[in-house]
Structure 1
Amino acid sequence: MMKQMRKINWKIVAIIFIVLFVVETLFWIWSTAIYNSELDKNNECLYDICGDYVDAWYEEDICTCYEYDMTGDLIVAKNKYMK
């Protein structure tokens, strides 16, 4: 009776670890896809939209381009909503 229970417990633990490994792998694939998407949007903002300006920020689907004014301060030159 005890040997049979040990086998069942071992199998349950193995199944739990396999499920956790699959969930962890899916999480890493999902997070990498989101990171690459955000990186692509950031690069599009920096190089394609704000290529003529000094600096650019991308956050929450808004690309903001900056340039220097006469006193040397950064001012907003252009805002663009990105889908």
Structure 2
Amino acid sequence: MVEGDKQSAVLRAEGEAKAIENVSTAADKFFVGNAQLLKQLEVTQASLQDNTKLVISDQSRLINVLGLTEALAGTQVTPGKQSKPEAPSR
């Protein structure tokens, strides 16, 4: 029984590795050199899936991926200064 579980785990891992290889190959073929960008988008999607809240630097590449560049165009942050959060209303 233990040997069967071990073999099952090995086969599952090999299948997952092959799936990753296939996605990477397809991304390189059809998105020409953008396999890394595809992975970034997949990670971003997985991260935001459960209403996750993120604090993102304005220098982050994620700003570009999410299309937030224009939203931040009018904002300016002074280095070393932090704004105080608003007090909760009662």
TM-score (norm 1): 0.42
More strand by share: 1
Look at both structures and tell me which one has the larger radius of gyration over its CA atoms. Answer: 1
